[in-house]
Amino acid sequence: MPAQEGRGSAKVIPLIPARDLAATGQRQLHFRNPPPLALYVHVPWCVQKCPYCDFNSHALPQTRDGGRPASAIPEDDYLAALTADLEAALPTIWGRRVDSIFLGGGTPSLLSGEAVDRLLTALRSRLPLLPNAEISLEANPASVEAGKFAAFRAAGVNRLSIGIQSFNPRHLKALGRAHDDREARQAIEIAARHFDNFNLDLIYGLPGQAPGEALADLDAALAFAPPHLSCYQLTIEANTAFAAQPPTLPEADSCADMQDAIEARLAAAGYTHYETSAFARSGQQCRHNLNYWHFGDYLGIGAGAHSKLTLHDRVLRQMRWKRPEQYLAKAAAGTPIQQEFAIAAVDLPFEFMLNALRLLQGFDSPLFESRTSLPLLTVENELRQAERDGLIERRQQRIAPSDRGRRFLNQLLERFLVDRR
């Protein structure tokens, strides 16, 4: 998937349906109009790999004494690869307007301000970009990167997402973060000077964390009055250092108490809880992520980036080559896509619900029909059962998760999986 704010933290665990396509009985699809289109750009390098992170990120080489990276990102080569990748994709999205851009990773703030400027110039010259498009960049709070914030703003980035995670030195160390609490505060101060719109990522349910410590992190963030906050519960993801050597995490009841306290504190502070882990002041919701949750389209370029693209008769999924050196070679050869397939019609309801039911306000039934090319009747039995079980609420055309459905979102989503046994 394309990156969403809050790397390596407690997302709803994706429940991927089996793909025995021979048994599906494909239904003919017809899309009258494509959904909104966003662009995701993946930058795969980090100073170091955090032990909880399962995103496609790769640590830069270290010096012999384990200090700072011995070499910088190959900016020129990577920008050339991104440009070639985009140009190869243009026939698939020809004439479509791009509503938002998100630079994720990895750590995009490792790029120089000049590289970000060149990248955005290349994108603007090849894509019809909405005049007031949201252009986000993920950043770490390390002092070297915070020093580039002014240059990122000058290049055209208008929204920054900063991976704070915690202000507690003990918890930052447990998470393997490269910054300390002083750098975290300094980075937010610098961001606020240059950006009207920025997000702070926080993680709770950390090793050895008490509920009061989770609220202390939140209060420290609120002191800066951020327009947007993303608050995630830490989960242990497969193929991470934490999966190999799991730390001791707080009990489930304690994490639930943290979640309740965080939601209450943010509501009292005037933030709207609009998505499972996202909170915003009025008008400051992340437009790029809202497009994901509305099952809109996105073109992903860069190492390991994913795309979802609606054509007139099918919905495509694409994945770029993951390893940076592999991606650089494949993009230069004009073959950046490692995998591409059409989503089976019977899987589209689950794929839609996996995104739309993350929204606290849910969705209107015409959105389901326009984004899947299927009538709502396709999932009427599942919706009725979920409503009987208290997992969703229905008011006229609006379908939304109930409080119980939010707490047990995986159980709700399972209702829409296709059983091909």
In 3D space, the residue among 90, 186, 179, 182 whose CA is nearest the CA of residue 142 turns out to be 179
The pLDDT of residue 9 is 35
The string of pLDDT tens digits covering residues 287-303 is 999 999 999 999 999 99
**Residue 375 belongs to a domain:** no
**Residue 417 belongs to a domain:** no
The pLDDT of residue 22 is 36
**Residue 302 belongs to a domain:** no
**Residue 175 belongs to a domain:** yes
**Residue 241 belongs to a domain:** yes
The pLDDT of residue 420 is 60
Angle at 77 between CA 42 and CA 1, to 5 degrees: 15
Other C-beta atoms lying within 10 Å of the C-beta of residue 395: 8
206: tokens are 């950390």
Report CA-CA distances (Å) from 263 to 215, 259, 282, 301: 10, 6, 16, 35
Report CA-CA distances (Å) from 371 to 152, 299, 395: 34, 16, 20
Residues 404, 390 contacting (CB under 8 angstroms): yes
**Residue 26 belongs to a domain:** yes
**Partners of 103 in the β-ladder:** 41, 137
Report CA-CA distances (Å) from 327 to 44, 77, 324: 10, 11, 5
The string of pLDDT tens digits covering residues 83-132 is 999 999 999 999 999 999 999 999 999 999 999 999 999 999 999 999 99
In 3D space, the residue among 52, 143, 157, 48 whose CA is nearest the CA of residue 104 turns out to be 157
The pLDDT of residue 16 is 40
Phi, psi at 248, each rounded to 5°:
-85, 120
Question: What distance in Å separates the CA atoms of residue 148 and residue 132, rounded to the nearest whole number?
Answer: 23
Question: What distance in Å separates the CA atoms of residue 266 and residue 328, rounded to the nearest whole number?
Answer: 43
The pLDDT of residue 145 is 84
Question: What distance in Å separates the CA atoms of residue 224 and residue 183, rounded to the nearest whole number?
Answer: 14
Q: Is 102 left (phi over 0), alpha (psi -120 to 50) or beta?
A: beta
Question: What distance in Å separates the CA atoms of residue 420 and residue 230, rounded to the nearest whole number?
Answer: 36
In 3D space, the residue among 201, 237, 202, 233 whose CA is nearest the CA of residue 56 turns out to be 237
Measured distance between the N- and C-terminal CA atoms of the chain, rounded to whole angstroms: 27
**Residue 409 belongs to a domain:** no
**Residue 102 belongs to a domain:** yes
Residues 100, 291 contacting (CB under 8 angstroms): yes
- Give the chain's length: 421
DSSP per position, 159-217? EEEEEEE-S-HHHHHHTT-SS-HHHHHHHHHHHHHH-SSEEEEEEES-TT--HHHHHHH
Beta strands in 32-176 (DSSP E): 37-43, 45-46, 58-59, 98-105, 129-139, 159-165
DSSP state of 359: B
Low pLDDT (below 70) residues in the chain: 1-26, 63-71, 420-421
Range of the domain at 275: 21-290
The pLDDT of residue 364 is 98
Instruction: Write the CATH number for 181.
Output: 3.30.750.200
- Provide the domain count of the chain: 1
Q: 45-46 and 58-59 as β-strands: parallel, antiparallel, unpaired? A: parallel
Question: What distance in Å separates the CA atoms of residue 249 and residue 240, rounded to the nearest whole number?
Answer: 15
Question: What distance in Å separates the CA atoms of residue 375 and residue 390, rounded to the nearest whole number?
Answer: 23
DSSP state of 47: S
Residues 70, 132 contacting (CB under 8 angstroms): no
DSSP state of 48: S
The pLDDT of residue 26 is 59
